[in-house]
Structure 1
Amino acid sequence: MSKTLKFIDLFAGLGGFHHALAKLGLRNGEVNFECVFASELKEDLRKLYKANFPGTPIYGDITQILPSQIPAHDILCAGFPCQPFSQA
């Protein structure tokens, strides 16, 4: 019997954490991972995230989200700003 763990994806970028957990769930088989909330500031990345992970709610600026709007979750994923690495 598989267990589902819910996660949120903050500063999501194009969804690296989401992709990794989805792959891990497929390989493991005992645990499934469900993204219940994502947040990304940049509109172009939100569009890409939405295309890659349809059905996952993705929001903009996390500072404009009330804590009560974030669903219950088991895991919090958060990317650190990657711009310095992208520009390098």
Structure 2
Amino acid sequence: MSSLALKRQLGVSYPTAWLIHHKLMQAMANREERYVLDGRIQVDDAYLGGERAGGKAGRGSENKVPIVVAVSLTEDDHPLRVRLTPVSGFIR
């Protein structure tokens, strides 16, 4: 959720919504640092972001960030935890 959407939802000023948004993101990041992926793990690469008008579309676009995604699965193959890590680029 964006800070602007949070502002509308809570009925507060934008600076207040921005501060709440960033405090929530930091609390979530701190919580996630305590967890380690274990058991059966699947890993894949992807690109995160969108294309700008007139820009290159698809993999390798200058507007997208390459990431590696790892998912820890339960015994019945349901996702349990996920890690997304930005990387500088993929070797082709």
TM range (shorter): under 0.3
TM-score (norm 2): 0.20
User: Which structure has more helix as a fraction of its residues?
Assistant: 1
TM-score normalised by length of structure 1: 0.21
Q: Which has the higher contact order (CA 8 A, sep 6+)?
A: 1
| Greater C-alpha radius of gyration | 2
